[in-house]
């Protein structure tokens, strides 16, 4: 049995990487958990957002989604 969870988080940019690292650490600590992350942030360039979502070890799926201006 699997549970699918959707989290929509509104946070300041400085909290993004620590939050994602927490998710990644949880993913590593609990075998069978697997996370996929998509992100968009107003006011951040694509390069800034890609840098902010980098975690170690990397998540298997991470993407940046840009809304049309």
Per domain, the residue ranges of the chain are: 31-69
Which segment, 19-23, 39-43, 59-63, is predicted with the most confidence on average? 19-23
Looking at the DSSP assignment, which residues form a beta bridge with residue 38?
63
Mean pLDDT across the stretch 22-38? 86
The predicted structure's pLDDT at residue 48: 87
Neighbours of 53 (CB within 10 A): 21
pTM, to two decimals: 0.75
Distance CA 29, CA 34 (A): 11
What pLDDT digit, counting tens, does each position of 9-26 carry? 899 989 999 999 998 899
Mean pLDDT across the stretch 60-64? 71
User: Residue 69: pLDDT above 70?
Assistant: no
Distance CA 14, CA 28 (A): 23
Distance CA 25, CA 53 (A): 14
């Amino acid at each position: 049995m699997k549970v699918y969870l959707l989290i929509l988080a509104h946070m300041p940019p400085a909290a993004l990487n620590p939050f994602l690292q927490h998710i990644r650490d949880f993913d590593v600590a609990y075998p069978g958990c697997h996370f996929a992350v998509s992100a968009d942030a107003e006011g951040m360039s694509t390069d800034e957002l890609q840098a902010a979502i980098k975690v170690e070890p990397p998540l298997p799926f991470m993407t940046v989604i840009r809304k049309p201006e």
